[in-house]
Amino acid sequence: MSQKDNTIYITTPIYYVNDVAHIGHAYTTIIADTLARHARLTGNKTFFLTGTDEHGQKIETSAAARGKTPKEYADEVSGKFRQLWDDFDITYDKFIRTTDEEHKTGVQKAFQKMFDKGDIYKGNYEGNYCVSCETFYTDAQLLDNAGCPDCGKTTTIVKEESYFFALSKYEDKLLKLYEENPSFILPKAKAKEIVNFVSSGLNDLSISRTSFDWGVKLPSSMNDDKHVMYVWLDALLNYITALGYGNDDKNMEFWPANIQLVGKDILRFHAIFWPAFLMSLDLPMPKHIAAHGWWTRDGEKMSKSKGNVVDPKEIADAYGLDAFRYFMLREVPFGQDGDFSQRALMDRINSDLGNDLGNLLNRIIGMSGKYFDYKITSKDVEKFHKKELDEINTLLDGSEEFFYNLQINRFLEEIWKVLTIGNKAIGDYEPWNLMKDGKTDEAMALVALIVNIMAKVSVLLKSVMPHKVSEIESSLGMIVNTESYNKLIKEKELFSETTITKIDALFPRIEEELIAIAESTSTVTESSAPKQICKNEEKIKIEALEDEANLVTIDKFFETTLKIGTIVEAEEVPKSSKLLRLQVDLGEGRNRQILAGIKEYYSAESLIGTQACVVANLKPAKLMGMESEGMLLAAKDENGLHLLRPEAPKKSGTKVS
């Protein structure tokens, strides 16, 4: 993909409706959305497709297990995917469902065309099938004679009449495709596996099933009602039926696709079957099939059946959608696996987003307000800051190359280098001293340099963090669109003049204690949701500022009830590196459950029978799905953490004052 292409077509895989969306799905969709937004920004006519994959044995079985018809079940889950993407402001141009009538007609037309071409024949299939992966395997591919090599589940033997696609016919053509188009498969390193697989010989592919019903029927001309199409044939064709293939061809101008994003688990289907189907249909090849890695938890692929999924909505609600987008795109190089951790996310928020980006905007607001009543002109920037401008323009120029090669993490790194130049320039030129020395023009040039840096960076960050950049735009008095992209990035122009507007902090800091709590929880919970906590924290900070000496009245202090509690039971919380689950007697006739992040400092056993000072009127909170009804007081320094305890035993529930 490049800014020179006129039409850009970007696709995600269509997601199976047997599962709820997790961050793996969100990852693919967010990358695609970022590419699509950037393609539009740079002036390309763009089509971005996503959707749901609704047929096949897996869905039929999942629906039956819930007492629903496959269609009812598909409607429900497909609706949830779509809702999630809408909540995430994903700018898809079409959300396709494989149960859409036009899709089914298009698939039947394609089947007919392949049949007429002589690429489809009828035979009998006998072999191993994994329902979970909807994939056929040869005996040699199985693990321990029965296990699916991809997901490990037990495969079943399928023995039935079947139509076959003559995949073997396309072996040489596929090898030629890979050879002549070294970036057909991205990252290029992944192409090797595919080339090896194809070179070792391709079997013809069974493309219909008779043992269940939930799929697209064969074209009526085949007069063979008992077959439904193999779900991967049906699913892969969505990329062209979505453009009107086999119907009105309305959007076929977008074919071939520029980038088809897939997870590495489904690269084989997209890099072998899909181009072979397209060759059979006499259609051109997509420019890139780009395979990203997996998001894992503790090194294992996230999946519902493993029970280790992270809900993208919870994360986005807790930390902010744009911070989540930034994190996903920045944290892991495209193609590699990444282990999801809230700590890493919060570090990115505090460091990259809060310190480097948010703080630079704050400094713009502060300096422009204090020195220039918020009115900024760029007239002397060239005169005083030619060197910085050249550096910035070179970095920004080069950054887009990374973007188009899907090295989005590197693209972001280049942008951050530009922010560093801005932050450093303030320290180097000390505008406060320039003002003191009466060098107002120089101070203005410096502030305007920073404003221009922020403006240029915003243009390139718009596709990554569209909502936060909108806030920056309103602060800088600019609009990011194709025109400003051309001026500020392509033509390397500067802003002439603008008026800065004060806005709230873009990324409020998440405090260390919250990071520790979240780190000890396996999934985000209400109590570890920093957005809410941050708001409270901000409130506390503002109240503290209003009270100049930062003092509290005695009444205010005693709004907190402190009591002596006796720890009656203690046990480790499984899967948490920090938490102990305690039952604490506060003299109330029942014990309270308190989750304390002290596992690194105390063994559960050593606590039983001891006392500690407890905050007794803390609003209950959930940690790792368990309620915590209080908090133990502790002090931590370089010698470790110690609980605060009474000097001599006290009755459980004794008030601390």
Kindly list the residues in this chain that would bind ligand ME8 in the complex (CB under 6 A): 13-16, 19, 24-25, 27-28, 53, 235-236, 238, 262-263, 265-266, 294-295, 301-302
Q: Is the dihedral of CA 68, 70, 71, 76 positive or negative?
A: positive
- Residue facing ligand ME8 at closest CB distance: 24
Q: Is the dihedral of CA 515, 516, 517, 521 positive or negative?
A: positive
Residue 541's CB: how many other CB atoms inside 10 A?
A: 12
CB of 38 to ligand ME8, least distance (A): 20
| CB nearer to ligand ME8: pick between 310 and 445 | 310
CB of 607 to ligand ME8, least distance (A): 37
CB of 206 to ligand ME8, least distance (A): 17
C-alpha angle 326-311-234 in degrees, rounded to nearest 5: 95
**Phi–psi pair at 44, nearest 5 degrees:** -95, 145
Burial 139-168 (b: 16+ CB within 10 A, else e): eeebeeeebbebbeeebeebeebbbbbbbe
**Token pair of 77 as six digits:** 């889950």
| CB nearer to ligand ME8: pick between 238 and 407 | 238
| CB nearer to ligand ME8: pick between 301 and 531 | 301
CB of 297 to ligand ME8, least distance (A): 9
**Token pair of 471 as six digits:** 């806030």
CB of 340 to ligand ME8, least distance (A): 9
Task: Give the DSSP per-residue string, 446-466.
Answer: HHHHHHHHHHHHHHHHTTTSH
| CB nearer to ligand ME8: pick between 1 and 236 | 236
CB of 306 to ligand ME8, least distance (A): 10
CA distance 366 to 349: 21
CA 260 distance to own-chain centroid: 17
CB of 265 to ligand ME8, least distance (A): 5
CB of 521 to ligand ME8, least distance (A): 19
Q: What is the dihedral of CA 537, 539, 540, 546, to 10 degrees?
A: 150
CB of 504 to ligand ME8, least distance (A): 33
Beta-carbon contacts of residue 588 (< 8 Å; ≥ 6 apart): 653
| CB nearer to ligand ME8: pick between 259 and 621 | 259
Q: Exposed, middle or buried: residue 189 (CB in 10 Å: 0-12, 13-18, 19+)?
A: exposed
With contact defined as beta carbons under 8 Å apart, do 368 and 495 qualify? Answer: no
Beta-carbon contacts of residue 392 (< 8 Å; ≥ 6 apart): 418, 421, 453, 456
| CB nearer to ligand ME8: pick between 28 and 44 | 28
| CB nearer to ligand ME8: pick between 148 and 514 | 148
| CB nearer to ligand ME8: pick between 288 and 385 | 288
Task: Give the DSSP per-residue string, 577-603.
Answer: SS-EEEEEE-SSSSEEEEEES-TTT--
With contact defined as beta carbons under 8 Å apart, do 216 and 225 qualify? Answer: no
| CB nearer to ligand ME8: pick between 262 and 278 | 262
| CB nearer to ligand ME8: pick between 301 and 439 | 301
| CB nearer to ligand ME8: pick between 283 and 435 | 283
CB of 119 to ligand ME8, least distance (A): 19
Name residue 563's beta-bridge partners: 614, 655
| CB nearer to ligand ME8: pick between 49 and 279 | 49
* Gap between the terminal Cα atoms of the chain: 67
DSSP label at residue 510: P
CB of 80 to ligand ME8, least distance (A): 12
Beta-carbon contacts of residue 130 (< 8 Å; ≥ 6 apart): 137, 148, 150, 151, 153, 155, 156
CB of 409 to ligand ME8, least distance (A): 15
